Structure 1
Amino acid sequence: MTPGFARFTAIDWSGAKGARHKGIAVALCEAGDAVPRLIAPLDRLWSRQAVADWLIHAAGKAPTLFGFDFSFAPPFVARGSYLPGDDVPQDGPGFWAYVDAICDDIDLGAASLLEVAHRRHFYFGKADGVKATFMHNRACEALYNAGGGGKPSTVYDAIGAAQVAKASFAGMRMLHHVRPHVPVWPFDPVPDAGSLVVEIYTSIAARAAGRPKGRSKMRDLAALNDALTALGSAPHEGVMPDDHGADAIVTAAWMRRAVAQAGHWSPGGMTAQIARSEGWTFGVT
């Protein structure tokens, strides 16, 4: 089964503190080959809440596949808990509600979960001990790594520019607010009609577009348009977007093509327990 969508949206996400974020970019394209276009926020920069509000509105206008580049849940299967030793829910949507309830950070932020509420589970530096003891991954991440995709970051690593921890937990708060309006795969089944939210990994799109491993970032218009051409998209015209915008544009074009690949919707390594607890990154098969 391959679902039909009229539009495809990729969102480059941010977990930064504050209310407006340079790291958020939203790109949208329709079916066909038109180049994805960046959606401008109502204000100068996107807030996380504004993205959630825009998504809910856009989902009702046309069947849209929305992709976010953060981990929809922490690892669960390998250790039997998201935060071993702490009393937390054991399914994705329940955990999102828990994260939202304990975080009062502005703009759906979740830094307080890492820094205060569950501090002992996260690596912030050498004072926390051996980093390797924090490096737990989900089943889909292990599969991606084993297939040569590269070693993904873990939500328990909260140090450095490449960390995905704050973005992921902030994203879980956003999912809690969006899910009553739009289903979230694979925690929810693919609907017969309407919109859907999935987890994406922009590096998968970049590799599919011909970018070399470890060089997913496109720094100039020629590189961006080479990637778009490889994905069957018309070229981007005008000013070269920043890294976040370029990632979103290429990933939206990839989503438009990847949606028709049945294997993306029924990955062999995804069990019912994994779908319920950890989720899965769309495109990892």
Structure 2
Amino acid sequence: MREKSKNVCSIGQNLGRKRSNRKLNFDGFIGVDWSGAKGPNLPGLQVAIAEPGTKPPYLVRPPKGRWWSRHLFASWLLERLKCHRLLIGVDFAFGYPFADEGSFFPGLDFQLKTAPALWRLVEEYTEASSNFYGANFYKRKDVEFHRYYLSPYGKGNLYKFRQRLTEVVCSAVTSPHPVLKCIGAANVGTGSLAGMRVLRYLSAEIPEYLSVWPFNQSIESSCIVEVFPRLYFKLANKDPRFWKDIGNINETLVYYKSGKVTSKFEINTEDEADALVTAAALRFLYTDEELWSAPKSFELATQAEGWIFGVK
């Protein structure tokens, strides 16, 4: 089922205007399968909501048009963050590898030490691109950054396989793709650049309503976390390649103590399946305080690299 909200402060079928005050208690859980593609219409950007309780998550249509854009999603989310305490999971990297080389971009004349500083840098060199598009960061040849990427425009002479600390730990279950790789269907590099622009925008617009975890350890407000849908399938001992199989999806949902979608429910794309499972996983996992504290033993993760929610 898909839900289209008419009230700007409604995030779901049964949620009115409210904000929770209790720590580790959220009004809703939003799973987002992200897209770094160019253009305003993004079939790959899918949004799902799981409400408190055990009802199955559901997909959310954009308030206008057939497809979400990144700008439309950011605007939609901004309005809801003013009314609700939400846990939002989006599947792009919030930071770059740092611990391995002591730098995001080893050898540059200037060095950044935090993820928010990286977001501002990305915005500075891509702000001319509409809809938070990020590929110009590695496309431009007038600056040095292209040398660190594997992209459709070539392999930079400083590109190497690098992993963040969270990716190293996550590899015990399933391995994320390297974030400086920007080619191939499963690459997360281009989407992460677009996502960093959105994080900078949201952080600047409503800092009082939103914490970006783990860089801001306070979770008294709404919180946005990095997610990895494949991880949530694997933790449930399910194969994400069978996303068309409603039985496989329902068994994954049940693992996260969620109700099942009906047999008539149609999942048209892998992106839809990922968003649904992510929303259910967030609702189940968020009460595990060990997950929230997982990156604290890695100081660089809480400052520079970020952490995938669910990895411990």
1:186 aligned to 176, 201, 214, which one?
Answer: 214
Residue 69 of structure 1 corresponds to 91
User: Would you say the 8 A contact 2:40–2:70 is kept in 1?
Assistant: yes
Q: How many residues align?
A: 279
TM-score, normalised relative to structure 1: 0.91
The change in CA–CA distance for 1:231 and 1:268 in structure 2 (over 3 A counts) is same
1:176 aligned to 200, 214, 217, which one?
Answer: 200
Cα distance in 1 for residues equivalent to 2:100 and 2:296: 14
2:103 aligned to 77, 81, 94, which one?
Answer: 81
Confirm or deny that 1:205 pairs with 2:232: yes
3-state DSSP of counterpart to 2:32: strand
Deviation at 1:127, TM superposition (A): 6.0
Residue 74 of structure 2 corresponds to 52
1:18 aligned to 39, 48, 66, which one?
Answer: 39
Confirm or deny that 1:143 pairs with 2:169: yes
The change in CA–CA distance for 1:2 and 1:264 in structure 2 (over 3 A counts) is farther
User: Would you say the 8 A contact 2:148–2:156 is kept in 1?
Assistant: no
The change in CA–CA distance for 1:268 and 1:85 in structure 2 (over 3 A counts) is closer
Cα distance in 1 for residues equivalent to 2:39 and 2:162: 28
Residue 240 of structure 1 corresponds to 266
Amino acid at match of 1:173: R
User: Would you say the 8 A contact 1:208–1:231 is kept in 2?
Assistant: no
Deviation at 1:52, TM superposition (A): 1.0
3-state DSSP of counterpart to 1:38: strand
Cα distance in 2 for residues equivalent to 1:249 and 1:44: 18
Runs of 4+ with deviation above 4 angstroms: none
3-state DSSP of counterpart to 2:232: helix
User: Would you say the 8 A contact 2:295–2:307 is kept in 1?
Assistant: no
The change in CA–CA distance for 1:139 and 1:57 in structure 2 (over 3 A counts) is same
Deviation at 1:273, TM superposition (A): 2.8
User: Would you say the 8 A contact 2:296–2:302 is kept in 1?
Assistant: no
Cα distance in 1 for residues equivalent to 2:179 and 2:53: 35
Structure 2, unmatched stretches of 5+, are: 1-21
Amino acid at match of 1:141: E
User: Would you say the 8 A contact 1:210–1:230 is kept in 2?
Assistant: no
User: Would you say the 8 A contact 2:291–2:309 is kept in 1?
Assistant: yes
Residue 134 of structure 2 corresponds to 110
Query: For the aligned residues, what is the CA RMSD?
Result: 2.1
**Relative CO higher for 1 or 2, CA cutoff 8 Å, sep ≥ 6?**
1
Cα distance in 1 for residues equivalent to 2:32 and 2:188: 15
Residue 179 of structure 2 corresponds to 155
Deviation at 1:204, TM superposition (A): 1.7
User: Would you say the 8 A contact 2:139–2:153 is kept in 1?
Assistant: no
Residue 160 of structure 2 corresponds to 134
1:98 aligned to 121, 132, 138, which one?
Answer: 121
Amino acid at match of 2:277: V
- Percent of aligned positions that are identical: 30
Amino acid at match of 1:225: N
Cα distance in 1 for residues equivalent to 2:170 and 2:30: 23
Cα distance in 2 for residues equivalent to 1:270 and 1:27: 32
Deviation at 1:239, TM superposition (A): 3.3
Cα distance in 2 for residues equivalent to 1:102 and 1:46: 24
Structure 1, unmatched stretches of 5+, are: none
TM-score, normalised relative to structure 2: 0.84
Residue 19 of structure 2 corresponds to none
Cα distance in 2 for residues equivalent to 1:23 and 1:67: 15
Cα distance in 2 for residues equivalent to 1:59 and 1:273: 28
User: Would you say the 8 A contact 1:270–1:280 is kept in 2?
Assistant: no
Cα distance in 2 for residues equivalent to 1:129 and 1:59: 39
1:229 aligned to 225, 229, 254, which one?
Answer: 254
The change in CA–CA distance for 1:127 and 1:17 in structure 2 (over 3 A counts) is closer
Deviation at 1:151, TM superposition (A): 2.4
